[in-house]
Structure 1
Amino acid sequence: MNKNMQQFLAYKKNYHNLSNRTIKAYQSDLVALDHYCSQHEVTITQGILALMENLHQATRLKPTSLKRKMITYRMFYKFLVTKKIIERDSEFEQYRANYIIPKKMPRTLKVRDIHQLLNCMYQRLTQPATSVYQKRNGVRDIALLELLISTGIRISEASLINLSDYDLVENSLLIYGKNRKERMIYLSSEEARQALLAYLAIREQFQPKDQSFFLNKYGERLSIYGIENIFTKYLQLAQIDTKATPHYLRHTFATELLNNGANIREVQELLGHSSIVTTQIYTEVSIERKKYVLNSFNYRNEMDVKTSK
């Protein structure tokens, strides 16, 4: 991988608050591009167009994968132009790939499953068979999942929280989203607040090595993989038969807000979406909201003409 690509990856990592998983995906795409350009002796833009056409025709990559790769290459191109490493290429800028991506509905958890999950976690703390070590971790895990459930934040955002981001007086958290976008969230759930306070009271038992809010067993920042493992563990302990990921909690949070009457702009702000288009997908799964709208505003409901007995 050439020097320009390494500089691009360093820039994205340092200034855009991206996860290691995302950086690795960018790196894989750029390595493939570097290899193709070297092998065929073509320019960067020529290589991108030819490589993408080849991937489209000769492989069975999903449209979502092709689109992701093209996004990576367009960002790299823009980086090179901005740094004046290459000249603008009008042909490349006008190129529009047609990758038809099937619409996927957000996957959610049933509210009763979340209720069962939390019950399992709280009950485990009081069981005689639960060791002191398990209880310590359990207090942390409850705080973590209560936070995810009641705020809908991403697991990457939960991982990045520091002690200084939590305002105990205002009961609020400063969240660092994608591309270093900050937003303030409020903890409306008293149970979530109490869970966080209970965890902070025993946080020193993890022997913290830094100011990370959520810690792993080594006293270091709890990673997104650690959060995923915690969530999966309690799904199994609660005997909830699902292949859900922690991101389902975010989807459930958004869908239930709409079901209960929140407007889409409010949900957009709470989730930290830069575009309302991203938030609109939740209207597709908000069945209760659809029922309310139709029962309340469908003109046919008020007509006197009766055709049924």
Structure 2
Amino acid sequence: MSESTATLPNSLQKPLNRFYEFLRSEKGLSLHTQRNYKQQLETMAEHLVSMGLEHWDQIDAAWVRQLASKGMRDGMKPSSIATRLSSLRSFFDFLILRGDLSANPAKGVSAPRKQRPLPKNLDVDEVGQLLEVDDDNDPLSIRDRAMMELMYGAGLRLAELVDINIKDIKVSAGEIRVVGKGDKERKVPFSGEAKEWVGRWLKHRADFANGDEKALFVSKQGVRISHRNVQKRMAEWGQKQGVASHISPHKLRHSFATHVLESSNNLRAVQELLGHENISTTQIYTHLDFQHLAQAYDQAHPRAKKKDNS
């Protein structure tokens, strides 16, 4: 591993040297960990010098937060920033132990959280490829089509789909009563293809369901269909239709949210439809929508691409 070659002022270097000796003699840390601490701390010391600072007690919490932000801008991983902050906290604790510092400015500073990956979704053409199929009179295929149409048409969670009872759905009105996370109830509209296919499934349901079964969607055994069975059937359907993306209930829900937001630009409405308690949860779809807009811009705008000078 490369070591820093810059010469630091004694006011910065001497406390570091004492800390390195402390790590070797009293902490018993591995050579690898010692080198990592040294690399991190001397990089930060060089940053201090570049700002015209020459003493460790000139650092405050604002500077430490700025250091973490700079790491993000420079493309550091959150885990690497956390390591940098950890080494700084340990060093400051050592200075406090020696009486060279009264408080640890890095103590309350956390590394930026790892960004949540954006949910994958199907584009409109893929949804068409998945759902626009030749008429199939097989009752279980009708059930599967109804589940997918309802999931995409109403943006349901897998658990919400499985938990729907007959009494919860009004096909003619295009309305479902859904019990979501935290046992919170909401009414969700659906229409068009979902109404048609749920209606068709209801004509066959009695041939499968046990006499006292309340579930809207049942298995061949006549009981409420399981989460795993829904996932398996949807994945197999996607393969049969030749859709490149792996089909899952979550992907249909994400696709519903993305497509409704693209069409309406109404984040609050999407929040209500998805049953999100906080709009911050729904805002991840604004990033997806922006990706869609940015891609359209790059493809359509006459000055979006650099000219080929070759």
TM-score tier after normalising by the smaller chain length: 0.5 to 0.7
Give the letter aligned to residue 115 of structure 1: G
Q: Give yes or no for contact 2:168–2:177 (8 Å, CA) kept in 1.
A: yes
For residue 117 of structure 1, the aligned residue among 102, 122, 130 is 130
| Mapping 1:12-27, distance limit 5 Å | none
Describe the shift of the 1:183–1:210 C-alpha distance in structure 2 as closer, same or farther (beyond 3 A): same
| Paired residue secondary structure (2:253) | helix
Distance in 2 separating the partners of 1:113 and 1:184: 28
CA-to-partner distance for each residue in 1:80-122, whole Å, 9 max, x for gaps? xxxxxxxxxxxxxxx99868323311110121111111123xx
TM-score (norm 2): 0.57
Q: Give yes or no for contact 1:259–1:288 (8 Å, CA) kept in 2.
A: no
Distance in 2 separating the partners of 1:244 and 1:96: 41
CA-to-partner distance for each residue in 1:265-290, whole Å, 9 max, x for gaps? 11100000000000000000114874
Gap regions ≥5 residues in structure 1: 1-61, 64-94, 127-134, 295-309
Aligned match of 2:202: 200
Describe the shift of the 1:240–1:169 C-alpha distance in structure 2 as closer, same or farther (beyond 3 A): closer
Distance in 1 separating the partners of 2:117 and 2:124: 21
Q: Alpha-carbon deviation of 1:170?
A: 2.6
Describe the shift of the 1:285–1:237 C-alpha distance in structure 2 as closer, same or farther (beyond 3 A): same
For residue 212 of structure 1, the aligned residue among 210, 215, 226 is 215
Distance in 2 separating the partners of 1:244 and 1:104: 18
Give the letter aligned to residue 139 of structure 2: R
Give the letter aligned to residue 204 of structure 2: I
Distance in 2 separating the partners of 1:258 and 1:289: 11
Q: Alpha-carbon deviation of 1:169?
A: 4.5
Q: Give yes or no for contact 2:238–2:246 (8 Å, CA) kept in 1.
A: no
Aligned match of 2:144: 141
Aligned match of 2:275: 272
Higher relative contact order (CA 8 A, sep 6+): 1
Distance in 1 separating the partners of 2:259 and 2:282: 13
Extract structure 1 runs of 4+ deviating beyond 4 A. 95-99, 288-291
Aligned match of 2:289: 286
CA-to-partner distance for each residue in 1:102-145, whole Å, 9 max, x for gaps? 3311110121111111123xx2616xxxxxxxx01011111111
Distance in 2 separating the partners of 1:194 and 1:245: 22
| Mapping 1:56-67, distance limit 5 Å | none
Q: Which structure: greater helix fraction?
A: 1
Q: Give yes or no for contact 2:175–2:187 (8 Å, CA) kept in 1.
A: yes
TM-score (norm 1): 0.57
Q: Give yes or no for contact 1:231–1:246 (8 Å, CA) kept in 2.
A: yes
Aligned match of 2:242: 239
CA-to-partner distance for each residue in 1:58-85, whole Å, 9 max, x for gaps? xxxx99xxxxxxxxxxxxxxxxxxxxxx
CA-to-partner distance for each residue in 1:26-72, whole Å, 9 max, x for gaps? xxxxxxxxxxxxxxxxxxxxxxxxxxxxxxxxxxxx99xxxxxxxxx
| Mapping 1:31-180, distance limit 5 Å | 100-120=113-133, 123=134, 125=136, 135-180=138-183
Aligned match of 2:255: 252
Distance in 1 separating the partners of 2:230 and 2:165: 16
Q: Give yes or no for contact 1:175–1:185 (8 Å, CA) kept in 2.
A: yes
Distance in 2 separating the partners of 1:270 and 1:202: 29
Q: Alpha-carbon deviation of 1:258?
A: 1.3
CA-to-partner distance for each residue in 1:220-273, whole Å, 9 max, x for gaps? 111111110111010110011223422111111111111112311111000000
| Paired residue secondary structure (1:206) | coil
Q: Give yes or no for contact 1:212–1:221 (8 Å, CA) kept in 2.
A: yes
Distance in 2 separating the partners of 1:111 and 1:274: 27
Aligned match of 2:192: 190
| Paired residue secondary structure (2:264) | coil
| Paired residue secondary structure (1:228) | helix
Distance in 2 separating the partners of 1:169 and 1:246: 24
Q: Give yes or no for contact 2:151–2:252 (8 Å, CA) kept in 1.
A: yes
Q: How many residues align?
A: 192
Gap regions ≥5 residues in structure 2: 1-77, 80-107, 298-310
- Structure number with bigger Rg: 2
* CA RMSD across the alignment: 2.8
Q: Give yes or no for contact 1:258–1:289 (8 Å, CA) kept in 2.
A: no
Q: Give yes or no for contact 2:151–2:157 (8 Å, CA) kept in 1.
A: yes
